Structure 1
């Protein structure tokens, strides 16, 4: 059970650094506070890249990361 509900999904499968972070930032900027964006990526580097970006970015919170059959799923909440 999770404590969040996905508002929108962003598919960046097949894209490599830095595009998953760039596209995540663009999409998060357009969301309302409290929304959760699911990011589906195939780049293994997206795990550390998105975690680092979320830690360094005010107004976003990385609430979960999962690996599912070679797809990395990241869940980013816009907090402000």
Structure 2
């Protein structure tokens, strides 16, 4: 299953988490989403959000300007 690509570069905390939560709400259970961010706090916020909401953080990658998160919806 290919992940949905969600470009949230340029957004600052708390918007990457808020927008990811809203996007996941409209997706099927088990769906994958790859979220690209430039917010330095996202490396803390995204894992916390996934843990809180029960989603699986499949991987976190450091990118040239930020981070990329692969998340599987619960």
Q: 2:64 maps to what in 1?
A: 69
After TM superposition, the score normalised by the length of structure 2 is 0.92
Instruction: Say whether residues 1:22 and 2:25 are aligned partners.
Output: no
Provide, for residues 1-54 of structure 1, a one-character-per-residue CA deviation record: whole Å limited to 9, x for no partner.
xxxx44201111000000000000011111111111000000111011010011
Runs of 4 or more consecutive aligned structure 1 residues displaced over 3 Å after TM superposition: none
RMSD: 1.1
Paired residue total: 74
Matches within 5 A, 1:3-18: 5-18=1-14
Unaligned runs of 5+ in 2: none
**Which runs of 5 or more residues in structure 1 are unaligned?**
none
TM-score by length of 1: 0.86
Q: Is the 8 A contact 1:39 1:74 kept in 2?
A: yes
